[in-house]
Amino acid sequence: MCGIVGYNGSEQAAPILLEGLSRLEYRGYDSAGLAVRNASTPIEIVKAKGRLRVLAEKTNDGEALHGTCGIGHTRWATHGEPSENNAHPHASDDRTVVGVHNGIIENYQELKEKLLRHDYVFYSDTDTEVALKLIHYYMGKYAGGPVDSIARAMTRIRGSYALAVMFAEYPDEIFVARKDSPMVIGVTDGACYIASDVPALLKYTRSVYYIGNQQIARLGKGTVSFFDIDREPVSVEQTEVKWDAEAAEKGGFEHFMIKEIHEQPKAVRDTLHSLIKEDHIDLSGTGLTDEDLRKYERIHIVACGSAYHVGLAGQYIIEDLARMPVRVELASEFRYRNPLLTDRDLVIVISQSGETADSLAALRLAKEKGIETLGIINVIGSSIAREADHVLYTLAGPEIAVATTKAYSAQLAAVYVLAVQAALIRGCIDEEKYKELLNEMEQLPAKMERVLEDKERIQWFAAKYSNARDMFFIGRGIDYAISMEGSLKMKEISYVHSEAYAAGELKHGTISLVENGTLVVGVCTQNHLFEKTRSNMVEVKSRGAYLMGLTNYGNYSIEDTADFTVYIPRTDAHFTTSLAVIPLQLLGYYLSVARGLNVDKPRNLAKSVTVE
């Protein structure tokens, strides 16, 4: 969850580290810290509680720290409250081993007790301090050097980690290691860079290495070598990042989130164009064959958060078009309930970062059971992308705001393509219907742009109801999946208590929560369910609710019921999620702005959940 950066070169490290942390602050913002040194000076550590700007002020934007080698960290607290004492970097008692960490060490208490018996003293409540002192212990006991001491510590540590470590005796080197937490290494002439995520590196290089699981890297000034946990040298393939560096900037928008909402048409267009070639879907890049799509008898979609809501929409779409049973599961539950899987199942794992801890664990469980896996991933070279049997890359580009928008839309596009191709291969639709669905998909980006043109009305509505305390989203079928995502956006960035319900369930308890002034959003994009959902809207209105309707152009009768209505262009019913979600994203965004909240970095949340 935390963000790690590192630099080893000829320039002053601190300003570069602060710049990198500014691009990773979405990963955590409880505290931040730097450790910097020159070849002839001790390691200097500066830490600050709160946002990164506090650390920047404390170090005069890095100018007060001198050294050409350093590491930095922005923290999302897991062990120990947010405080300067618990902030990273952490160090051994003699400050000869200094490091930063992302992840959770599950057996830290056991390791701490071992180190206490060897007269180590602990100043923080973090598991990271335990890891650093364990490395220091092995450094002294075996005198095998940094790679040896880190490898020995890795064999004792249970949990997830990305570590960047500096040693007093090795002044021109940084050592990194990872297990289940992300770490990217960039190399240019005379310099090396480390980061938890690609956007922190794009300003400096696009040539990166994704260090493998349970590997160690030794970084000099422009050189890098890799080792496995047995200290044996290994080779890691260099990857060229295709993202445009400008895509990680705000580009004139007030917040990253509103910029990324506007980038959704492009994200969907790029993803579709990568999969539809010469009026036909081409999945060859994923490794999935027509025979694969025919043989699968059941699909399990496993994901977290918004990606889970993509799965819920995908369940309706795949079952209806391809007539395949689909089960959608929260990744955090999937691995603990001993799922019933067969060798004719496909497990689809959806994750923007490709590093989501629960999703990665679910993928590994499926593979242990011999089940084929497909990752729908936005980050090339990420853990899930490397470990899945098949990979379908979405082309959303870097997404900085914590609340996902364009990655969600790109994932939806990927699911549409899979559903339509499976439907054709399995004989559930004919060639004519196939061409019709492809045409509808290819029109989605232009229709999404039309939806964005209505943003001023939604901004007005959000400002009018910025003091709302409770909201409900209701819908049926795919509209229920849309409601789930709309409700999550409201909770994430506006801090409004919000719930989504299948509209038909209102009378089974939920309607008792509706009172005068309660804001209810009724999603009615499925024409065959329109009248039923509108009836449910009438029920809540009669209890005093204020109604916002969301439906297709032409369904103007909804205005007899709704107090405020947003319309979206008509498309095939299977694809309406791509259009209907945008007004709900905008509603959450503008309501958050009206309440004066931090849109891009909502409290208690981080972009990539890399710990359980």
pLDDT tens for 88-133 read: 999 999 999 999 998 888 898 999 999 999 999 999 989 999 999 9
247: pLDDT strictly greater than 90: no
Highest-scoring range by mean pLDDT, 158-162, 331-335, 380-384, 433-437? 433-437
Q: Give mean pLDDT, residues 176-198.
A: 90
pLDDT at site 159: 83
Cα 261-264-265 angle, rounded to 5 deg = 130
CA dist 599 and 493 (Å) reads: 6
User: 23-32, 293-302, 390-399, 429-438: which has the minimum mean pLDDT?
Assistant: 23-32
pLDDT at site 611: 47
pLDDT at site 516: 80
pLDDT at site 608: 54
Q: Which residue in 49, 179, 447, 607 is the catalytic one?
A: 607
Cα 75-81-82 angle, rounded to 5 deg = 40
Q: Strands, DSSP E only, in 284-405?
A: 298-303, 326-330, 345-351, 372-377, 390-393
Mean pLDDT of the chain: 90
Q: What percent of the chain has pLDDT over 90?
A: 64
Q: Which residue in 2, 69, 192, 304 is the catalytic one?
A: 2
CA dist 41 and 144 (Å) reads: 23
CA dist 245 and 198 (Å) reads: 10
Residue 607 falls in the annotated catalytic set: yes
Q: Give mean pLDDT, residues 582-607.
A: 87
pLDDT at site 198: 83
151: pLDDT strictly greater than 80: yes
pLDDT at site 420: 97
Q: What percent of the chain has pLDDT over 70?
A: 95
Give the CA count within 13 Å in the CB-facing half-sphere of 280. Answer: 8
pLDDT at site 353: 86
CA dist 107 and 151 (Å) reads: 17
pTM of the model: 0.69
pLDDT band per the 50, 70, 90 thresholds, residue 1: low
pLDDT band per the 50, 70, 90 thresholds, residue 499: confident
Tell me the CA distances in angstroms from 598 to 201, 403, 493, 590, 592, one per residue in order. 24, 11, 8, 11, 8
pLDDT at site 29: 67
What domains can be seen in the chain, in order of their start residue?
Answer: 3-241 (3.60.20.10), 250-452 (3.40.50.10490), 455-594 (3.40.50.10490)
Sign of CA dihedral 239, 240, 242, 248: positive
Structure tokens, 380: 């090339």
pLDDT in tens, 198-219: 888 888 998 899 998 899 999 9
pLDDT at site 606: 57
For residue 461, the SS3 value is: helix
**What HEC string does 360-421 produce?**
HHHHHHHHHCCCEEEEEECCCCCHHHHHCCEEEECCCCCCCCCCCCHHHHHHHHHHHHHHHH
Residue 2 falls in the annotated catalytic set: yes
Q: What's the one-letter identity of residue 353?
A: S
pLDDT in tens, 5-37: 999 999 999 999 999 998 887 666 678 999 999
Q: What's the one-letter identity of residue 292?
A: D
Q: Which residue has the tokens 């089960």?
A: 327
